[in-house]
Amino acid sequence: MATAAELGCLVPGGEIRVEGAAEGPLKGVTFVAKDIFDVAGTITSCGNPTWASTHGGPARKHAWAVQKLLDAGAPLVGKSVTDQLAFSIFGENFHHGTPRNAAAPDRQPGGSSSGSASAVAGKFSAVGLGTDTGGSVRIPASYNGIIGLRPTHGILPTDGVMDLAASFDTVGWFARSANLFARVGDVLLPEQERIPPRRFLIAEDLFEAADPAVRDAVLPKAEELAARLGGKKYARVATEALGGLDGLGAAFRTLQLTEIWKTHGDWIEREKPEFGPKVAPNFAAAKQVFETEDPAPARALRERVKDRVAALLDPGDMLVFPTAPFPAPKLGQSFEELAEVRPRVMRLTCLSGLSGIPQLSLPAGVVDGAPIGLSIATLWHGDRFLVRTFCGG
């Protein structure tokens, strides 16, 4: 078990403790909350000192998800590092530092929920609250060798959480053990009808988007699960009519960047916050897209992606594919050296982002000495189905 200081997983002054209820299903289960979740009496900095100084002081009440865990008996033990305004997948905060990837210390922890993933993987806390807009729970889960869920969009309230791109933003969580992950799901997720697993659909095009070593490591795990839980079928998700994975990635980029600049552009231009070399280019791109691109075609494609998912999956069907195309990149690389990381990651994460379906990432093995994850997605509101099937409960 590592300390918060050893992991660098908490924001400065973030090693706080808020006791949970005296009794509850998560009594004594420690958790951290990403520093875009409000915690009453503390300032939500969203990873940036200018944000902290311009947004009204300490929060007056807890974010919905924080309150739910406290009410279940879980004590909050820290506010965890996030990429600035949750807008990066690297996990390196220019102001607060880079949380340690306990599973691969020479590699990035992944963002933007890097501190929460680090705290869980390093055993500082049992559970970590994060958010996922473009992959910010799924990617750190894969990189750190832990379990993470991006739930059905809108199924969990985002009250008390900073908006990034509202039509993509979700609240998710991390845990090391399947049993504990399921117990948290029992607290956070609404009750849903129990259905049996029906069929595994192995997403050929999503597997093709991953490095060969990742495909070779993850595919046997997928086939093992298929043999245990039901039949399997191979399928291509992003058809030519949708423009393939490149078409999905382009639509996701246009919509996400447009929403981000619409949400934060005025504040950025007024306050001129210092973002650092790995986040500033993201906001510059958001401004450029907002000012020059028409999002209508991307919105139309998003609706067609939803139609494709509905045609592809029946209740009980599970779509399986690698969570990330490669293990976590090595630390110390420049933004330019990492230029291909984000677009390649988004080719795998944008399906759930555009469609809004739930996606669970499970540890699936090791490549080049670093963890890799396997993802299982299913139809909307199948969150409990995923968690029960793969984590119990």
Domains of the chain: 4-188 (3.90.1300.10)
CA distance 360 to 362: 7
Catalytic: 167?
A: no
Alpha helices in 233-314 (DSSP H): 244-271, 280-292, 296-312
Which one is catalytic: 34, 79, 221, 278? 34
Which one is catalytic: 80, 136, 142, 352? 136
**pLDDT at residue 393 in the model:** 67
Exposure on the CB side of residue 71, measured as CA atoms within 13 A: 10
Instruction: Count the neighbouring beta carbons within 10 Å of the beta carbon of residue 108.
Output: 28
Residue 163 has pLDDT above 80, yes or no: yes
Catalytic: 330?
A: no
Q: Which residue has the tokens 């004594």?
A: 28
pLDDT tens digit sequence for 341-354: 999 999 999 999 99
* Residues 6+ away with beta carbon under 8 Å from 29: 73, 74, 75, 126, 127, 180, 183, 184
CA distance 71 to 144: 28
Q: What percent of the chain has pLDDT over 90?
A: 96
Catalytic: 80?
A: no
Residue 358 has pLDDT above 90, yes or no: yes
Average pLDDT over residues 78-92: 98
**pLDDT at residue 227 in the model:** 87
Alpha helices in 72-211 (DSSP H): 114-121, 138-144, 178-188, 204-208
364: its two tokens: 């699936």
Cis peptide before 112 (omega within 30 of 0): yes
CA distance 288 to 43: 31
**pLDDT at residue 230 in the model:** 78
Which one is catalytic: 88, 112, 116, 125? 112
Average pLDDT over residues 307-332: 97
Closest CA to 211 of 104, 324, 339, 108: 324
CB 357 within 8 A of CB 219: no
CB 199 within 8 A of CB 230: yes
Residue 130 has pLDDT above 70, yes or no: yes
pLDDT tens digit sequence for 2-58: 999 999 999 999 999 999 999 999 999 999 999 999 999 999 999 999 999 999 999
pLDDT tens digit sequence for 192-233: 989 999 999 999 999 999 999 999 999 999 999 888 887 889
Mean per-residue pLDDT over the chain, rounded = 97
CA distance 285 to 77: 36
pLDDT tens digit sequence for 240-252: 999 999 999 999 9
The two beta strands, 76-80 and 147-150, are: unpaired
Task: Tell whether pTM > 0.85.
Answer: yes
Average pLDDT over residues 302-321: 97
pLDDT band at residue 62 under the 50/70/90 scheme: very high
